[in-house]
Structures are given as C-alpha cells and as structure tokens.
C-alpha cells in the first residue's frame, strides 16, 4: 500500500477520550474514528487488524469443530419475552417499527441460536453442536468509555455449544479454554484464565480471559509462570503465594478482559423447551455453554498491552502490514528520483512475495514526520531508504520493538525479511 | 466437510413464503433460516456462499482503487438532521436509548462517510477518494418479501466516491460500471446495465444492474448480445428494435436488481459543507457518487437465476463447496466399510488439494434421500461411490448443470476434477 494514496492519515490531535491509550493511538494513528461515545468507524489500517484477529479466531473455532453462522442483529421480541430478558436486561436496545412492533437489537444471541439449533436437533445423536459467528453487537451502555474497550456497538465472536449431558459439556468447555489461550497467544498476547462469577448470565462457574497490562481495568492475582489467575476480589490466594497449578510465583497485576466463557446449564433450553431423546428413550433438556471474544475490544487490548510512549507496537501476527518502508527526500531532483525508484523496486520485490508493505511514499513530508508516523502506526519492521543508505547500497533496518538500527544490503532485504517474519 | 457433522440439514418442509424460489430452496437446502419477516440467519452452507460473493466483490473494489472500511450501524441523529433525512426517510429505524437520545440504525451511510472523509481531505490533491464496506443495513420495510431479496436486515457492499470535479467523478463512474459487470460475471450471472431514475436519492441519472431471470420482479427491455437494457416503464426503444450499443436484438424480459449506482452530485457535500481548495486557490464543494450491491440479495438473485425444479444450480465460483461426494450404503457390513473407506480416501485426496468437498457420509439415509439432497443443495459436481461403481474401480460423475452421468476411474478423479474446476 502506498501511504500517499490512502485517505486516512495520522493526526496530531489527540481525541477527547485521552485517558485511554488505545483510543489515543488508534485514533491518532488513523486506525479508527469515533462517531459518538462508544461507536467507532474502522479505517483501512484498523480494519486490517480486525480482519487478522478475526481470521485467527475463525481458525481456532473451526479447529474446535464449531461451525460458522451469521445471526441477525434485529431480533423478534418473542424470544426475549420467552427467556424473561426483554424486561430484565437494562442495556437492551429496543427498536420500534412503523408497524407498531418492537424488536431487540442483539447484545447477545441465545434467544436466536437456541430455537435455531432446536429446529435441527432432535436426538442425542445430533449432539454435540457448536456454532459461532463474528458479528456486531449492540448494548445501551450508560457510560461507554475506554476507547474501543467498551462500546455501544462492537464486534464479537460468540460461540454457543449444545450437549446431551453435563459431562459432554464440561469436556468441550475444557477444550474451549485451550482454544482461547491458543487464540490469544497467536495474537501475541499473554492471557490468564480467571475464575469469575457469571454476572447476569448464571450463578455457575465461569472463566474470564485477562490480558496482562498495567493499563488494565481489573486487578487480578496472576501466576508469572502459567495461565493461572484469580480475580483479586474473590481470590483465595495472596501475592507471593505459590501457584496451585505449577508452583510459580503469584503477583498482583492489572488485566483487560478480552474473552469469557459461561456454563449456561439449562437456563435457555428450559424456557424454549429444547429437549432431545436419549439412548434409553427418555427426554433430556440440553446443556449449553457460551463463549465470547470481543473482537474490536481485543484490538484495543493489544494496543494497551503493546505500546510505548511513541505509539503502538503491533505483534507480527496481527499488524496491519509487516513493513513500514520509508523513502526519504533529497533536494537534488535526480537523487530524489533515484531514491523513489529504489524504494519502488524493494516495494515490488517484497509485495510480490506476499510481504505486506506500507510504503510511505509521500514527497511533501519531512523525515521527522515520517519517523514519528512509523512509530505511532507501529508496524513490526521499519526500512528507510535515503541518499545515505543508497551510498552503501543498503537500507536502514529497525524493528519497532527494538532500539538498535543497522544497515542491510538491498540485495539481502528479501532474505532477511523472510527470516524476520518466519514464525508467521 | 462431512455432512453428518453439520447441525443444519435439508428440510422437507417448504417455508411460508413459498412464492419466492430463493426462499424455498435456500431454506429447504439448509442455507438460511427465517427468524421473522425480512430477517434471516445464515447457516454454514449459506454463509460460505455469502463469503465467496463478498470476496469477489472485495477483489473488484480493491482493483478499482477503493479502500475498505467498516462504518457503524448505530449512527448519531445529528448527521441525519443535517441532511434532512431524519424526517424524510420513511424506512429509517430510530433507536431510543436509556439516556434519552435517539440514534439512526443505518439503512445507508452518507451521513457517516461524508464527514469522515471530510476530516482527512482538505485539498484537490487529496482526491479522488473511494471507500467501501461490506456491512449490515437496516430498513423498516412495511412489506418485507421475496425471501432474501427484500429484507429489514440485509448485507450490502456500499461504496462512496469523492471528487474535485464532475469530470473526475464521471470517469470513475464509468470504471465502476465495468467493475460491477465484472463482479456479476464472476458470480456466474448475466447482468444488464439499466438506466434508472434515482428514486429518493437524486433526480440525476443513475444505473441499475439487473440479473436476467424469468422470476424477476422488474420488466426490462434488454439486448441479447451486450449489457444494454432499459427499464420498460421509461424505455425509448421497443422489443425487436436493434440495440443502440451493438446492433443486437432487444427483447422484453424480467430481471432482479442486484446493484445500483448513483450520481450524488453535491447533495451531501452541501449540507456538510465539505469543500476542498483547488489549484487556483478557490474552494469547491466535492462531487460524490454511491455504488451499492446487496450481498445477501445477490445470493438470492443467483438462486432465482440458476435453478431447476429440483433445486439450486450454483455457479462454480460461488458454490459453498465444489463437490458433493455421496457414499451409498450396503446391506453387507464389510462392503459398507469398504465403500466408506474408499470415499474417505477420495475425500482426503481432494481436500488435500484444496478442492472443497461436502461428503454426505450419513449411514442412515437412503440413496434416494441423498440424491434429492444433492440436487436441492446444488453443488456443481456430484460424485457417487457405491458397490456398483467400486466394482469398476470408479465413481459415478455427474455435473449438476448437465443430465448425463458417467463412470470415472478412482485413479483419475483428482485429474478430472482439476479440469472441471480449471476456470476458477
């Protein structure tokens, strides 16, 4: 991508919501644009991150054996009356229509997915079933805040599983925990599994996935060596205790919640009367679980967990592009043309090998502006081509996460980039 | 995909909305599930079609130089007051919130995208800009009907272009027409370009893209040899006239609208006061165009245009899977096992080569049921493995769009499938 041709550029103006690191860097970096409190537009760079995160999630959910569907945001009132949540859920948007009917604008999809799966599933032989979607959710938050972490409209992966027995549910639930940890790990994040109370959904046990970052809104007691953690409010251990899982050290730290999973029991199969026949001929209400990852929130959590004072430091797996290529100007017109053509050649060599390059080809921006933009946007690797580097037949190579820079021969760039990106 | 593991199966029950071919086949085939009038869930098979259509659209819009974004469904009232459409648009859903505010639930995105692009674009040098999104739209239709063709919630690709001059807009508009025709052609459709009046948007000239099908809701006068067509209500030619573009024969036929493009002029840059500075220092309100393709509607249009009395006939480029592999049963347990293992081997050989195979591996369904399901689901190629075919070391090969069937040696299947799918 030639940066000069993208409409959405970096901005020097900090957004109103300056207390939130993700809002500041995502907005100033040209990743998102706030339309109103809790509602964002995703610009080309931000959408690429969201799509990469979504692809990782899809792969992990498919590997679990779950099937992807797409359920509607606009939902009939009847299902919500059936479960009792039409009146009990405070943050449910209720949409009036011209015909006098009211619809729910889905904050979650149990009211849709339960009768949907019920329609196809009659016997224990048809179970287990797990379905998921990547879809947009709506919640009438009184105080939308923290940038893309808590919105009125937000992206979510929600999965629902259906089982003929509690044991089958529990086995799937454990596999889901592993898939979630794998998902966060592939997004470059250090995630902990935290036992939590189920909030509005259920009194049953549930788990949150917390991304460790000093900017987190939740305080947790976490193991330095494994995935174990507890919510500080209900912790049964204390800091400097040994981890009950692995014997590692427990420390008090901050986290951002990026996912949660719930045992729904028969909370929804009961009101919808979703039964299956068992092997012995008896009938059984199905057991359900639900499993959420906030996709837009996850992008914000990555920024909270991975940045410095100059901008974002994207993990390679979710960076909108791999390489930030900068061609500097020259007062000499011929040399300027030479720099641009050398940059073009590197750009084409790399993109032809499916390396994703954002080329800052602007001719009216200073070197200082370009460096500041590269740090703000935060791609994993910065390559600079200038008069100085071309004298050495080289480019200047600097990884965003490191402080050293060095010269790399133009002829070796493709090979070294391949090494740099190898883990992908 | 092993069909036995998918929760969503075919159904013998026709939906209420039986007048619509797309509703009947998409529902009975297990592609979609109607949640209420005009609102559908997309099941695994249907979502795959929607994703393939979306990928084709993305590629064509990117090739036009447009940038992908994702704009919110929930929109501030202020923008709609600015353009006057808060009160003038009858099918706008208005969403009340707990805080007493009202939001628009976007049926279209001019009120968001115009001030968004305005924020970044200051000079003619920053233009042209074209942005698009694949997103969910909402319209408070009084009579949602025709299956997925006219919904209250539906998928849409909407693109918006911004220009410093009318001439630049017009040049882009012509390129957009070509990209649209290319998009529909890649989806296996015969699309015509129809001059249309702009409806609620504008009195300016605009174009519709009509998919030719006898089941169409619009009557058009179309050329048999090129893309030319006119809406029958405002046609300046008549049936059996010669086409003004190519001299071909004009015939009266039916079509389903699958896309439309509009010259927006300064309809939106005016109220938002979106000006750029020109080369001579003067200021100019920008010229805009908008370009829509209903993605969920397009899936319905494909079904309307490509089916027979037994079911859907998916074009290869958008079929949810390429091949419907059927393993038939045997009363002899050993032979049954032999058939299943031969089918598994073909399934794995093909899927390892990225051929997309739906394997009907059910052991409790009759041959008749499996054949009926294959015709209903409508994948491009059906392969049957049975005792009879295995005696010949063969599979039975039948393209959905053809009537002949023949035996193909198991050893040759991969090679012949490669030939069959080559145009992809």
Chain A, window 146-165: residues with a beta carbon less than 8 angstroms from a chain B beta carbon: 152-153
**What average pLDDT does range B66-80 have in this prediction?**
98
> According to the model, what pLDDT value does residue A217 have?
85
Alpha helices in B355-404 (DSSP H): 367-377, 387-391
In which band, very low, low, confident or very high, does the pLDDT at A14 lie, cut at 50, 70 and 90?
confident
Per residue in A268-288, pLDDT tens? 999 999 999 999 999 999 999
Contact across the interface for B73 and A152, Cβ inside 8 Å: no
**Percentage of residues of chain B with pLDDT beyond 90:** 89
> According to the model, what pLDDT value does residue A390 have?
96
Average pLDDT, chain B: 94
Q: Which residue among B9, B47, B120 sits closest to A69, beta carbon to beta carbon?
A: B47
> According to the model, what pLDDT value does residue B200 have?
46
Contact across the interface for A95 and B98, Cβ inside 8 Å: no
Q: Which of A27, A39, A72, A142 to mutate to test the interface with B (most CBs of B within 10 A)?
A: A72
pLDDT at B222 over 80: yes
Contact across the interface for B72 and A35, Cβ inside 8 Å: yes
CB of A191 less than 8 A from some CB of B:
no
**What average pLDDT does range A397-401 have in this prediction?**
98
The distance of B376 to chain A (nearest Cα, Å) reads 17
**What average pLDDT does range B291-314 have in this prediction?**
97
Q: Which of B1, B13, B27, B72 to mutate to test the interface with A (most CBs of A within 10 A)?
A: B72
- Alpha-carbon distance of B404 to A178, in angstroms, equals 49
- Alpha-carbon distance of A78 to A104, in angstroms, equals 9
- Alpha-carbon distance of A290 to A109, in angstroms, equals 10
Three-class secondary structure of residue A88 per DSSP: helix
In which band, very low, low, confident or very high, does the pLDDT at B234 lie, cut at 50, 70 and 90?
confident
- Alpha-carbon distance of B276 to B283, in angstroms, equals 6
A251, A220 in Cβ contact below 8 A?
no
CA nearest B314: which of B397, B259, B377? Answer: B377
Q: Which residues contact B113 (CB under 8 A, 6 or more apart)?
A: B69, B71, B131, B160
CB of A136 less than 8 A from some CB of B:
yes
Residues of B in contact with A9 (CB under 8 A): 120
pLDDT at A200 over 70: no
In which band, very low, low, confident or very high, does the pLDDT at A155 lie, cut at 50, 70 and 90?
very high
> According to the model, what pLDDT value does residue A197 have?
63
**What average pLDDT does range A39-61 have in this prediction?**
98
A5, A128 in Cβ contact below 8 A?
no
> According to the model, what pLDDT value does residue A420 have?
96
pLDDT at A329 over 70: yes
> According to the model, what pLDDT value does residue A199 have?
47
Residues of A in contact with B95 (CB under 8 A): 93, 95, 105
In which band, very low, low, confident or very high, does the pLDDT at A15 lie, cut at 50, 70 and 90?
confident
A218 or A163: whose pLDDT is higher?
A: A163
pLDDT at A299 over 50: yes
Number of neighbouring beta carbons within 10 Å of residue A285: 16
Average pLDDT, chain A: 94
pLDDT at A377 over 80: yes
**What average pLDDT does range A383-393 have in this prediction?**
97
Q: Which residues contact B157 (CB under 8 A, 6 or more apart)?
A: B54, B57, B61, B132, B133, B134, B292, B293, B295
A46 or B20: whose pLDDT is higher?
A: A46
> According to the model, what pLDDT value does residue B199 have?
47
CB of B95 less than 8 A from some CB of A:
yes
What domains are defined for chain A? Answer: 3-310 (3.30.930.10), 323-420 (3.40.50.800)
CB of A36 less than 8 A from some CB of B:
yes
Contact across the interface for A41 and B69, Cβ inside 8 Å: yes
**What average pLDDT does range A415-422 have in this prediction?**
96
Q: Where are the beta strands (DSSP E) in B149-217?
A: 153-163, 191-197, 205-212
Please give the interface size between A and B, counted as residue pairs whose CB atoms are below 8 Å apart. Answer: 129
> According to the model, what pLDDT value does residue B203 have?
59
Give the residue from chain B lying closest to A73, CA to CA: B153
Contact across the interface for A131 and B7, Cβ inside 8 Å: yes
Question: What b/e readout covers B64-88, taking b as 16+ CB neighbours within 10 angstroms?
Answer: bebbbbbbbbbbbbebbebbebbee
Per residue in A78-129, pLDDT tens? 999 999 999 999 999 999 999 999 999 999 999 999 999 999 999 999 999 9
Where residue A329 falls (left for φ over 0; alpha for ψ -120 to 50; beta otherwise) is beta
CB of B123 less than 8 A from some CB of A:
no
List the single range of A58-62, A232-236, A347-351, A401-405 with lowest mean pLDDT: A232-236
Per residue in B81-97, pLDDT tens? 999 999 999 999 999 99
The complex's ipTM?
A: 0.96
**Percentage of residues of chain B with pLDDT beyond 70:** 98
**What average pLDDT does range A353-363 have in this prediction?**
96
Contact across the interface for B69 and A42, Cβ inside 8 Å: yes
> According to the model, what pLDDT value does residue A273 have?
98
- Long-range pairs for B15-22: beta carbons < 8 A, 24 or more residues apart: B17/B145, B17/B146, B17/B147, B19/B146, B20/B145, B20/B146, B20/B147, B20/B149, B21/B147, B21/B215, B21/B303, B21/B304, B21/B307, B22/B146, B22/B147, B22/B148, B22/B149, B22/B299, B22/B300, B22/B301, B22/B303, B22/B304
> According to the model, what pLDDT value does residue B13 have?
81
Give the residue from chain A lying closest to B66, CA to CA: A6
pLDDT at A18 over 70: no
């Amino acid at each position: 991508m030639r940066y000069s041709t993208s409409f959405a550029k970096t901005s020097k103006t900090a957004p109103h919501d300056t207390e939130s690191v993700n809002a500041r860097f995502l907005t100033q970096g040209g990743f998102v644009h706030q339309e109103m409190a809790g509602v964002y537009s995703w610009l080309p760079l931000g959408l690429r991150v969201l799509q990469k995160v979504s692809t990782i999630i899809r792969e992990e959910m498919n590997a679990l054996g779950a099937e992807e569907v797409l359920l509607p945001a606009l939902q009939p009132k009847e299902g919500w009356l059936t479960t009792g949540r039409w009146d009990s859920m405070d943050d449910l948007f209720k949409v009036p229509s011209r015909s006098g009917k009211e619809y729910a604008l889905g904050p979650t999809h149990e009211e849709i997915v339960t009768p949907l799966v019920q329609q196809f599933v009659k016997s224990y032989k048809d179970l287990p079933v797990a379905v998921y979607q990547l879809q947009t959710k709506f919640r009438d938050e009184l105080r939308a805040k923290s940038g893309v972490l808590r919105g009125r409209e937000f992206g979510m992966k929600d999965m629902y599983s259906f089982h003929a027995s509690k044991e089958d549910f529990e086995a799937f639930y454990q596999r889901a925990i592993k898939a979630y940890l794998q998902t966060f790990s592939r997004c470059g994040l250090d995630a902990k599994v935290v036992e939590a109370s189920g909030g509005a959904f259920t009194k049953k046990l549930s788990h949150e996935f917390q991304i460790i970052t000093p900017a987190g809104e939740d305080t947790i007691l976490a193991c330095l060596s494994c995935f174990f953690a507890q919510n500080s409010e209900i912790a049964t251990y204390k800091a400097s205790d040994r981890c009950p899982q692995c014997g590692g050290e427990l420390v008090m730290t901050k986290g951002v919640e990026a996912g949660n999973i719930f045992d729904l029991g028969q909370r929804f199969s009961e009101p919808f009367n979703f039964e299956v026949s068992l092997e012995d001929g008896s009938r059984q209400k199905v057991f359900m679980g639900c499993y959420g990852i906030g996709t837009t929130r996850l992008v914000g959590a990555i920024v909270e967990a991975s940045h410095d004072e100059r901008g974002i430091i994207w993990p390679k797996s979710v960076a909108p592009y791999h390489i930030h290529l900068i061609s500097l100007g020259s007062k000499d017109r011929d040399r300027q043309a030479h720099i641009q053509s050398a940059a073009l050649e590197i750009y084409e060599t790399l993109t032809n090998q499916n390396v994703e390059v954002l080329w800052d080809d602007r001719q009216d921006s200073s070197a200082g502006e370009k460096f500041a933009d590269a740090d703000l946007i935060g791609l994993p690797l910065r390559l600079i081509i200038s008069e100085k580097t071309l004298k050495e037949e080289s480019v200047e190579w600097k990884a965003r996460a490191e402080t050293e820079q060095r010269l790399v021969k133009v002829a070796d760039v493709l090979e070294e980039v391949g090494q740099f990106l190898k883990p992908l």
